[in-house]
Structure 1
Amino acid sequence: MRDGTKAAPETRKKRHRNIGALPAHLPRVDMTIEPDTTTCPCCAGALHRIGEDVNEVVDRVPAVLRILRLIRPKYACRTCEGAVMQAKARPRLIDSGMASTALVAWIAAAKFAWGSTLYRQAQILGGHGLRVDRQTLARWMKQAAWTVKGLYTLQLATMHGYARLFCDETPVRMLDPGRGRTKLCQFWAHATDDRSWNGPAPPAVAYVFASGRGKKEIAAQLTGFEGVLQVDGYGAYASLAADTKTLGKIRLAFCLVHARRHFVDVHKTTNSPFAKEVIERIAAVYAIEQRIRGLDADQRRAVRQAETKPLMDALKARLDATKDGISRQSTLIKAIDYALERWAGLTLFLEDGRLEPDTNIVERSIRPISIGKKNSLFCGNEGGGKTWAILASLLNTCKLHGVDPETYLADILERMVSGATKNNRLHELLVWNWKAERDARKAAA
C-alpha cells in the first residue's frame, strides 16, 4: 500500500471456475467445419491439410420420449403342431401401465432430487405431446417408493449402526381435508459423513416423515441407536438423552454455529462490541478446524487439545465474567445463556477427533427438503409425505457421492422389479456400494 503498511491477507476462498477442463467421462462427438473452398486463391491449386484448431463446448441432446414396444414372439412346431413357445412377460414397475422404469425414474429425480413439482412435470410431458395428469404421476411415485422401501429402511438402519449421527428437522404442510386447511408435520433428517477424518461412515442422508416434532417422534426413529447425536439446541433432543430408556446410551454434541448465530443477530441489531469479540473468537476456532480437516481422529484431537481447548476455555471465562453485569432483558444475555447452558455439548468435539464442532453436515443435507417444500407448498397426505421421504433419501444420497440420481434409481428399480437383486442382497444397492461396484467394472473394462 502507499503508506507502507501491508494489506491484510485475503481470507476469502477463491471461486472455483471452470476454465476449460471439461469432464473426461463425457462422450466426444466431432463436428468438422470445412472452409468454403480448398482451392488456392493464388494458383488455383489444391490445398492440403496442415493442422487443425479444436474447441470443446458442452452440448446437450434434448430428451426424447419414445414408445418402447415389448414384443414376445410365439413359436410353434410345424411337424406336431402341439407346442407353442413364448417368453414370459417381464415384471414391470407399473403393472399394466404406460410408463417404463426409466420414465418413472426421470420424474422422481426431477421432483425429489432437483426440486421440480409433479405439476411442472405434467406440463413438460404435455410439451412432448403426452398428456398425463398429476394424480397419475403421484401414483407412479407411490409405486416407486413402495418398491424401494426396503432399501430405504436398510440405509437408515446402516446409518444408525455408526456411533455418530447428525439430526435436524424442518416443518412441512400437509392437507387436512376434514378441517379444510393444512396442518403442520415434520421432516426429520438423519445424516452421516466421516470424510473429514477418513472414517468409516459414508456420506448419507435419510429423511423421516412424522406428524409431530416432539420427543416421542424422535425417540421412535432412534430406537436402538447408541452413540453421539450431533444436533442443534432443540429441547426434544435433550429430553431424549435424559430419558431413563436412553440414559447413558445417547450423548448430545451441540452446534457451535447455532451458538454463534445468536451473537451475530445481537451484533447486527445492537452493534455490541462483546458480540463481535465472541464472533472473532469462534472464527479462530474454525481457522484451526480448516487446517486439520482430513487428518485422522487422533491427530485432530491432539491439535484441538493443544490449540482449540485454550481458546474455548478463554471464551467461557469471558462469557461467565460478562453475564453478571448485563440486564436479564437484553438479547445479549440470551445469547450468552444459550451457549453456557449447552457448554458441555458445545465442547464435546474437543474430546473426540471424530466429531464436528457443528451440524453443518445435516444442515446442508436438509436443504433439498426446504427447497422442495417451497416449490410444492404441501404434501397431499401422510402417504405422500412418506413417499417424499423415501425417494428423497436415496436420491439426495446419490448427490453426496457424485452419482446421477436418475441413472441410479432407474437401475435399482429395474434390478428389484426383475428379481435380479433379491432381498438378501439389498446391501449391494446402497448408493456407496452401487457406486463402488460400477467404478470397479469401469476400471476392469
Structure 2
Amino acid sequence: RRFVNALKTRNKPGGPPEQALRFFEQLYRVERQARDKKPEHGETQADSIRRFRQQHSVPILNALKTWLDEIAPKVLPDSKLGDAVSYTLNQWEYLTRYTEDGRMPIDNNLLERDIRVFATGRKSWLFSDSTDGAKASAVIYSLMLTCRACGVEPLTWLRHVLTELPQRAGDADVDDLLPFNFTQTATA
C-alpha cells in the first residue's frame, strides 16, 4: 500500500515505487503457483507450499532486500517513498515470516477483512444498553468469525450448539462445541 501511495505522488509513471511493485507482483505470482502445485508423494500441502516458497520466493525477497538497502540512503525520509522503504525494512522480519510456514498466508488481507466488521460496527456498539450486552455482542462476533476462519458454516454450527448445549450439565466441558472442534459429521 505504501509503495502504491508513493507511486501516486509521482508526476510520471515508473521509478522506484513501480520497481518495488514489480517485486511484489513476482511474489504473488509465486504464491499462486505454490497454491496450484500438487504436493509430492507423502508431503502435506503446507510442506509443499513452504518448499516452493523457499525455492522461489526467498530469492525474490533477497533481491528486494538488497534493492531496498541500496535505495534507502538515496530517498528523502519524509517522502512517501522514504516512508514505504523504511516501513518495509523495519517490518522485514514480519513481512518474510510467511516463507517459513506453508500454512501462513502471504498477507493479512483475510484478517483485515474480518476486522472491518468491528471497525464499521464500532459506533453502533457505543449505544449497547449495557456492558453485558456489549460483551455478549463481542462474543457472538468472535465466534462467527472463528467459524469463518475454520471453514465452518456459522448457521449450521449455531444450530448444533443450541441443540447440544441445553442437554449438558451447567458445569460440563463444552470445548467440543467450539467452532475449531466442530465437524459437519457432528450434526449427523
TM (norm. structure 2) is 0.78
Whether 2:104 is the aligned partner of 1:362: answer no
Shift in CA distance, 437/421, structure 1 to aligned 2, threshold 3 Å: farther
Deviations 1:232-290 (A, max 9, x none): xxxxxxxxxxxxxxxxxxxxxxxxxxxxx111111122256211111111111011111
Whether 2:13 is the aligned partner of 1:264: answer no
Secondary structure of the structure 1 residue equivalent to 2:76 = coil
Candidates 364, 369, 378, aligned match of 2:126? 378
Candidates 167, 176, 182, aligned match of 1:428? 176
Secondary structure of the structure 2 residue equivalent to 1:423 = coil
Distance 1:301 1:267 in 2: 31
Distance apart, 1:412 and its partner CA: 1.9
Aligned length: 177
Amino acid at match of 1:360: N
Give the corresponding residue for 1:236: none
Deviations 1:295-324 (A, max 9, x none): 523322222222111111111111111122
Tell me, yes or no, if the aligned pair for 1:403 and 1:435 is still in contact at 8 Å: no
Whether 2:144 is the aligned partner of 1:403: answer no
Shift in CA distance, 411/283, structure 1 to aligned 2, threshold 3 Å: same
Distance apart, 1:338 and its partner CA: 0.5
Distance 2:102 2:147 in 1: 27
Secondary structure of the structure 1 residue equivalent to 2:74 = coil
Amino acid at match of 2:175: H
Shift in CA distance, 438/275, structure 1 to aligned 2, threshold 3 Å: same
Secondary structure of the structure 1 residue equivalent to 2:75 = coil
Distance 2:168 2:47 in 1: 45
Give the corresponding residue for 2:22: 280
Shift in CA distance, 305/379, structure 1 to aligned 2, threshold 3 Å: same
Amino acid at match of 1:436: Q
Candidates 351, 363, 375, aligned match of 2:100? 351
Deviations 1:411-440 (A, max 9, x none): 42343234379622x13312354433346x
Tell me, yes or no, if the aligned pair for 2:125 and 2:134 is still in contact at 8 Å: no
Tell me, yes or no, if the aligned pair for 2:34 and 2:53 is still in contact at 8 Å: no
Tell me, yes or no, if the aligned pair for 1:428 and 1:434 is still in contact at 8 Å: yes
Distance 1:404 1:345 in 2: 31
Distance 2:86 2:55 in 1: 27
Deviations 1:35-72 (A, max 9, x none): xxxxxxxxxxxxxxxxxxxxxxxxxxxxxxxxxxxxxx
Distance 2:154 2:94 in 1: 37
Which has the larger Rg? 1
Give the corresponding residue for 1:292: 34
Give the corresponding residue for 1:127: none
Secondary structure of the structure 2 residue equivalent to 1:293 = helix
Tell me, yes or no, if the aligned pair for 1:301 and 1:350 is still in contact at 8 Å: yes
Structure with higher helix content: 2
Distance 1:365 1:316 in 2: 30
Structure with higher strand content: 1
Candidates 76, 80, 86, aligned match of 1:337? 86
Secondary structure of the structure 2 residue equivalent to 1:355 = coil
Give the corresponding residue for 1:106: none
Distance 1:301 1:435 in 2: 27
TM (norm. structure 1) is 0.36
Shift in CA distance, 422/298, structure 1 to aligned 2, threshold 3 Å: same
Distance 2:182 2:79 in 1: 54
Percent same amino acid at aligned positions? 31
Structure 1 residues 144-163: aligned runs within 5 Å: none
